[in-house]
Amino acid sequence: MMRTPVSIGLIGSTGDEVMRALAPRIERLGFNALWLNDVPGGDSLAGLRAAAGVTETLGLATGVIPLDRRPATTLDLTGLPVDRVTIGIGSGRARHPLALVEDGIAALRESTGASIVVGALGPRMRRLAAEQADGVLFNWLTPEAADPAMADLRAAAGDRAARGILYVRTIVDPAARAELEQEAERYGAFPSYAANFARLGIRAIDATLDGPAGLPDYDGVVDEIVLRAITPTGSLAELEHFVETAAGWRDAV
């Protein structure tokens, strides 16, 4: 069993029926939380409300809501159990990302007691998260790259408690390999991510999992690892297979 809590990540456009069927299984299998990334055409907060209604202890988190598209003051947090919720926010493609996120943190502090984490690539955004939020959501990092990122986070946080959570795109079925490679190529084409990969000397695909062998390398490196499920079609049956298989990987470490 891994020391580091393991969670499941889904795309935010996952339908409510699938969410209500899958969330209890994720909870029953002992995963730490369910993370939904926020995408156009999908509402991560609505998805979490669906999951909240059929679970009791499962953490519920967004990873992340881009504030340039959905300002913090417009977010509807009603119906979400504050003690189980983490609101992940990011700057999206804002021209002034630090100011936008700083204002977003302040607005959320006034409206909710939920935990707040910030999606951050660069050191300045990570420092802001360490000083004002409750943690950082890292993305597309190998274990070797995550280790110094966590060291920087802890140094910036000082005496504050700031979590480091890492999204890792994962497949459990070889039939999903094409989708995983497409996802890696898509992120590798974004200028900000491409620059980050160049600084780290890695490719996007290097920071993914396509089997159980690489999972133990993340154990103890971050405070929480989110296995972002990549399946051929995103069907309920595929996602059920994913969480069952991933639970076996976790328990075998």
Runs of H (alpha helix) within 78-222: 97-111, 123-132, 143-157, 177-188, 191-200
CATH number, position 114 = 3.20.20.30
* Global pTM exceeds 0.85: yes
1 inside domain: no
pLDDT by residue (tens digit) across 88-144? 999 999 999 999 999 999 999 999 999 999 999 999 999 999 999 999 999 999 999
Helix (H) or strand (E) holding 20: helix 16-28
What are the CA-CA distances from residue 117 to residues 22, 36, 54, 63, 88 (Å)? 24, 13, 24, 9, 5
Cis (ω within 30 of 0) for the bond into 6?
A: no
207 inside domain: yes
177 inside domain: yes
The confidence score (pLDDT) of residue 238 equals: 98
64 inside domain: yes
pLDDT by residue (tens digit) across 193-247? 999 999 999 999 999 999 999 999 999 999 999 999 999 999 999 999 999 999 9
- Nearest-10 Cα torsion for 15, 18, 21, 25: -110
194 inside domain: yes
230 Cβ neighbours under 8 A, 6+ residues apart: 169, 170, 171, 176, 179, 180, 183
What is the chain's mean pLDDT, rounded? 97
pLDDT band at 12 (very low <50, low <70, confident <90, very high): very high
44 inside domain: yes
The total number of structural domains in the chain stands at 1
d(CA 206, CA 184): 9
Which residues on adjacent β-strands are paired with residue 223? Answer: none
Q: What is the residue range of 213's domain?
A: 6-252
The confidence score (pLDDT) of residue 41 equals: 87
165 inside domain: yes
248 inside domain: yes
pLDDT by residue (tens digit) across 61-85? 999 999 999 999 999 999 999 999 9
Tokens representing residue 235 in the block: 């069907």
The single-letter DSSP state of residue 209 is: B
